[in-house]
Amino acid sequence: MKKNIISLATAGLVSLAVAATAFASPATVERSVNFRSAPSTGSKVFQTLKPGISIDVQQQVNAYWLKVSVNGKVGYLSPSYITYDKPSTNQPPVDQQPSSAIVASSVNFRSAPSTSSTVYGSLKPGTPVNVLEEVNAYWLKVEVNGKTGYLSPKYITYSGVQQPAPEPTPTPAPAPSAVAARVIQHAKNLQGVTHYAYGVNQAPSLMDCSAMIQYVFGKEDIKLKWGTRYLKDAGTYVPRDELQPGDLVLLRVGSSSSIGHVGIYMGNGQMIHNSPSADGIQIISIASGYWSTRYVTARRVI
């Protein structure tokens, strides 16, 4: 699949215009992710997006946040949980003249440069089109039988223009997310440093389970309250079968039915926590053994 816009910079051929610096790239949620009001883990969570949901990426804010549109609502999320094509930074010079092209494979002909816009129809291979304008790296403004609309440049071939070789498919974003990986590493770094004391928050040497959570997430500017009574409502609910690294795992202790302990899910059924029995940081399984039967709920705060 071609990731860059087709260059028209060959002798005797004109080039297309780049009309905007912002882009709208279609994307798909690969793993559940919080859809937030601002590019910060301390911002309001609009909702948790489930795998398979289609979104439009509007802007890459920085290495950790994307500005996206979901069913017309604009918000922010981490790029580690979605699949999308990044815009090309190597775009051709412009002259904004129409160019003839032919549909190479079936493509939706839309009313606007967005995957949520109205589909006029599906153009079949061989359909001639006039390219009027390059809106951005993902959309062309075209004319088909006198009707103006928009389509993706991936599905057309310019008449008489030699196509560049496609770029290799980008490697999917690593899991866990960068922030979650750092939080987990912060917790690991406390092994041999932190001792357990119930109801104590003297970081990093002497803490209880929830104080450790507050401390390691705080290193990533994720503000959490001290105490499981607060952490049980932090972020958004996560089903047990959708746990991801960095999620908070809340558990009951002994014969009690109330939440009294918390750790951080690491993946592969493992959790890192500040353990009373180990008097410090310990990695254990929540898929089997004592803690597997004490599981109550989980929350996503990243």
User: Which has the closest alpha carbon to 246: 29, 28, 27, 31?
Assistant: 31
**pTM exceeding the 0.85 threshold for the entire prediction:** no
The answer to which of 42-51, 121-130, 164-173 has the lowest mean pLDDT is 164-173
Highest mean pLDDT among 103-107, 121-125, 258-262: 258-262
Q: What is the mean pLDDT of residues 134-152?
A: 87
Query: Looking at the annotation, which residues are catalytic?
Result: 209, 261, 273
Cα 37 → chain centroid: 14
Residue 87 CA to residue 51 CA, distance in Å, equals 23
Domains and CATH numbers, the chain: 1-21+87-169 (2.30.30.40), 25-84 (2.30.30.40), 178-300 (3.90.1720.10)
Helix, strand, coil tally for the chain in percent (to 5): 15, 35, 50
Helix axes 178-188, 209-218, angle to 10 degrees: 130
Q: What is the mean pLDDT of residues 98-119?
A: 84
The answer to which of 17-21, 85-89, 228-232 has the lowest mean pLDDT is 17-21
Q: What is the mean pLDDT of residues 262-270?
A: 95
DSSP assigned state of 199: T
